[in-house]
Amino acid sequence: MNCIIIDDEQMARVIVRTLCNEIKSLNILEEFTNAIEAIKFLNENDVDLIFLDIHMPNFSGLDFIKTLKDPPKIIFTTSDPKFAMEAFEYDFIVDYLLKPIELPRFEKAVKKAEKLQMRQTQISSIKVPSQKNDFYVNIDRRLIKIDLSSIYLIEAKGDYINIKTEEKEYVVHSTLKKIEEKLPDSLFLKVHRSYIINVKKIIDIEDNSVLIKKDVVPVSRSNRPELMKRLDLL
C-alpha cells in the first residue's frame, strides 16, 4: 500500500517511518510536517493509507480529514485519547494509535487497513463486463448520447466532470469515480486523481505527463507503472 506520514514532530515521523519499514506491504511515498502540504500532494498522487497526527499547528488532523472529498484509509497516530470517539465517526478511519506506538499494535492496525483494501478490491472486481459502445449524460434536462470511442479525456472539476470528445465537450454533474465504472478497461485508464484518459488517443509521453490532442495530462507516480503496461512498446 502506498502511504504518507503527516506529523509536525520530526521524532514522531521517524518512529512511524521505522515501523513502516518493518512491514513489507507498505511503501512510504512522502512525509509532511503539516496538512496543507499533504493536501497538495493528494491532489496529484494516489495514496492508499495515511498515518496522521491530530495536534498540529494551524490545521489539525481532524480539520484535515474534513477537507477530503475522496479520502484514503487513515490511521491516527496521537498522544491524545480524547478524540477517538469523534475520529471513528468517519468510515475511512481504520484505527487510532496512541503514542508511544509499539510494533505489534502498529502491525494490527496495518492489517486492518489491508483487509479493508482487499475487500474493496474484491467488490470492485465483481463487475459484469459491459459490451456497450455508448452511454447517456443528463445536461440541461436533455439526455445526450456519447460514443465511448470518441472520448479522449475526462477531467474532474469540483462537483463536475468535463468529458472531452472528438466533436465537443460536455460538463456533467457527476464524479470521476461514477463515470469510471461505466468505462471499458480496454480503452480507459485513470492516470491521476483528476484525470481519466483514452489510452488509444495518446500522442506523446514525456516524464510524468501524456499529450492527448492539445491537452497535457499529469500522470501520478503510482499510476505510471500501469500506464506503461497498457502501452504497446516496441
pLDDT in tens, 21-76: 999 999 999 999 988 889 889 988 999 999 999 998 888 899 999 888 888 999 99
pTM of the shown model:
0.57
pLDDT in tens, 95-145: 999 999 999 999 999 999 999 888 877 755 544 444 568 888 888 778 888
- Where in the chain are all domains bearing CATH 2.40.50.1020? 134-230
CATH topology of domain 2-125: Rossmann fold (3.40.50)
Q: What CATH code is assigned to 134-230?
A: 2.40.50.1020
- Where in the chain are all domains bearing CATH 3.40.50.2300? 2-125
DSSP string, the chain: -EEEEE-S-HHHHHHHHHHHHT-TT-EEEEEESSHHHHHHHHTTS--SEEEE-S--SSS-HHHHHHT-SS--EEEEEES-GGGHHHHTTSTTEEEEEESSPPHHHHHHHHHHHHHHHHHHHHHHH--PPP--SEEEEEETTEEEEEEGGGEEEEEEETTEEEEEESS-EEEESS-HHHHHTTS-TTTEEEEETTEEEEGGGEEEEETTEEEETTEEEE--TTTHHHHHHHS---
Percentage of the chain lying above the pLDDT 70 cut: 94
Q: What's residue 169's pLDDT?
A: 92
Answer whether residue 181 shows pLDDT above 70. Answer: yes
